Amino acid sequence: MAGGAPLHLTRQQKAAVIIGVLGTEAAGPVLEQLDENSLRQFTHAMSCLKLLDAAQVRATINEFLSELQQDDASIHGGLATARSLLEQHVADDLLTRILDDADSQSSHNVWQKLAKVSDEALADFLSREHPQTAAVVISKFSAEHAARILNRFEPDLARDVVVGLSRAASLDLHIVEAIGDTMSRDFLATHANQDKMSNPADRIGQIMNYTSPSIRDHILGQIEIHQPDFADEIRRKMFTVEDIPIRLPGRAMAAIVRTIDQESLLKVLFVTKESTPEVGQFILPNVATRMADQLREELKKSPRCAVRMERMPRRK
Q: Where are the alpha helices (DSSP H) in 92-188?
A: 92-105, 107-115, 119-126, 131-138, 143-150, 155-168, 173-183
Query: Alpha carbon of 282 to those of 72, 123, 155, 276, 309: distances in Å?
Result: 38, 49, 62, 11, 21
CA 240: distance to chain centroid?
A: 18
The band of 71, judged by pLDDT with boundaries at 50, 70 and 90, is low
Instruction: Write the burial class of residue 272 (CB in 10 Å: 0-12 exposed, 13-18 middle, 19+ buried).
Output: buried
In Å, how far from its chain's centre is CA 97? 7
DSSP label at 251? T
The per-residue pLDDT for range 148-160, each reduced to its tens digit, is: 999 999 999 999 9
For the chain, what's the residue count? Answer: 316
Q: What is the pLDDT of residues 265-297, one digit of tens each?
A: 888 788 777 777 888 888 888 888 888 888 888
Q: Highest-confidence range of 162-171, 179-188, 209-218, 294-303, by mean pLDDT?
A: 162-171
Q: What is the pLDDT of residue 305?
A: 44
Name which of 11-15, 198-202, 225-229, 273-277 the model is least confident about.
198-202
Q: Which whole number is the average pLDDT over 152-173?
A: 89
pLDDT in tens, 220-262: 889 889 888 888 888 887 777 777 777 777 777 777 777 777 7
Cα(103)–Cα(305) distance, integer angstroms: 43
- Euclidean distance between the first and the last CA atom of the chain, given in angstroms as a whole number: 60
Please tell me the least confidently modeled range out of 42-51, 114-123, 130-139. 42-51
Task: Report the percent of the chain where pLDDT is more than 90.
Answer: 12
Helices and strands, counts by H and E, the chain? 21, 0
Q: What are phi and psi of 269, to 5 degrees?
A: -65, -40
